[in-house]
Amino acid sequence: MAGSTYGTLFKITTWGESHGAAIGVVIDGCPAGLALCEKDIQVYLDRRKPGQSKFTTARQESDHADILSGVFEGRTTGTPISILVRNQDQRSRDYGKIKDCYRPGHADYTFDAKYGFRDYRGGGRSSGRETIGRVAAGAVASKLLGQLGIKLTSYTRSIGPITIPEEEYDFSCITENKLYMPNNAYAEKASAYLEECMKNKDSSGGTIECRITGVPVGIGEPVFNKLDASLARGIMSIGAVKGVEIGDGFLTAGALGSGNNDTFFSEDGHIYKRTNHSGGTLGGLSDGCPILIRAAIKPTPSIAREQETVTRDRENTSITVTGRHDPVIVPRAVVVVESMAALTLADLLIVNMSSRLENLKRFYAE
Ligand SMILES: Cc1cc2nc3c(=O)[nH]c(=O)nc-3n(C[C@H](O)[C@H](O)[C@H](O)COP(=O)(O)O)c2cc1C
């Protein structure tokens, strides 16, 4: 299977299946000298781990990160960083029933059609557990970005029909509720909605937002590796993401140019924008304003409700999925979206260093 490697210079390769021995990532191209320990990675993994609330799968995994290489005496050495997380609470028998038929909304049918063989235990590589490698690498990328004064803030904006209006955001309470919502009252409403979904043997989708501050002007590589295009590609590669917006996103289609343009003004020799409809990118390059990304996450495909499907032998049948599945993916995907944004940005920042001759001269001639 090709397609497990992401990035140009800060490059990651994720590996492992949901019910295999372990899952992990190799990061190649991380500069030497970055202070890094397993705790830095664990903090990120803990944000996506299962078993944290009644809305996340009951699968209990400590998801402990082991750094196998690339770090010596607490600093990165510039060599490949290999991070491993052992799978612990696999119950492959839960998946016996779906061995021979396809879960609607999941990757079973397409994987089988493409490869003629699939790891049906938890979806193998198409499982949400595949994102562990991304998050471990995202922790390293975020640490690197932190050194440059770049900060990422991610949270759940909506669950089903419960959307927090922007003027009611309170970022200080994101970690106070299990849904990672920046408003506790809306988190309670969303919890009640999810309870209802669970009673009905159903699941819900939602949206995640990621805000990035401190990004200098000019990051992104026109034309195919524009900042917005790269962010969309990275985030769209996460399972269950069905849409990505930058700034006002789809709303711009109904706007007028006079309202959508972010007008400029100058102060103390610096150029600023009065508004940020563009979400921090212009021409595929960062424009110095906060970058705003929004991802739409579909409802969890594996649901306990009986649904029509087919067997591998093309017979009509029905299926109820009895394994342990989140009634909503959104809260656990918040850190995954943030990680893909961090990885994309870290890579483009490093690539950007070769954009001007004067940069090369400064590095080699001085
Ligand atoms: C963090 C995370 C956790 C997920 N957990 C589940 C789950 O418990 N059950 C499930 O059916 N799908 C889960 N998914 C979604 C599937 O992996 C995804 O829908 C499937 O691979 C099909 O891909 P697609 O939705 O991109 O078409 C999860 C995804 C993520 C990112």
Tell me the chain's radius of gyration from C-alpha atoms.
21
Q: 18: Cβ below 6 Å to ligand 1?
A: no
pLDDT digits (tens, 9 = 90+) for 71-91: 999 999 999 999 999 998 666
Measuring CA to CA, which residue among 162, 161, 188 is closest to residue 176? 188
pLDDT at residue 117 in the model = 85
Q: Assign residue 5 a region (left: φ > 0; alpha: ψ between -120 and 50; beta: otherwise).
A: beta
Flag residues of the chain having pLDDT under 50: none
Number of domains in the chain: 1
pLDDT at residue 49 in the model = 79
**Residue of 326, 330, 334 with the most ligand 1 atoms within 8 Å of its CB, for mutation:** 326
User: In 3-state terms, the chain is what percent helix, strand and coil (to 5)?
Assistant: 35, 25, 40
Distance 45 CA to ligand 1 centre (A): 17
Q: 327: Cβ below 6 Å to ligand 1?
A: no
Give dist(CA 236, CA 252) in Å, integer. 20
Residue 60, token pair as written in the block:
């209990």
pLDDT at residue 322 in the model = 79
CATH number at residue 69: 3.60.150.10
**Residue of 17, 23, 60, 106 with the most ligand 1 atoms within 8 Å of its CB, for mutation:** 106
Instruction: Give the range of the structural domain holding residue 159, as residue numbers without chain letter.
Output: 5-365
Measuring CA to CA, which residue among 159, 165, 175, 131 is closest to residue 55? 159
pLDDT at residue 326 in the model = 82
CB atoms within 10 A of CB 361: 10
Q: 238: Cβ below 6 Å to ligand 1?
A: yes
Distance 329 CA to ligand 1 centre (A): 7
Average pLDDT for the chain: 94
pLDDT digits (tens, 9 = 90+) for 117-164: 888 887 889 999 999 999 999 999 999 999 999 999 999 999 999 999
273 phi/psi in degrees, rounded to 5: -110, 145
**Which ranges of 200-282 does DSSP label H, i.e. alpha helix?**
227-236, 257-260
Give dist(CA 129, CA 86) in Å, integer. 11
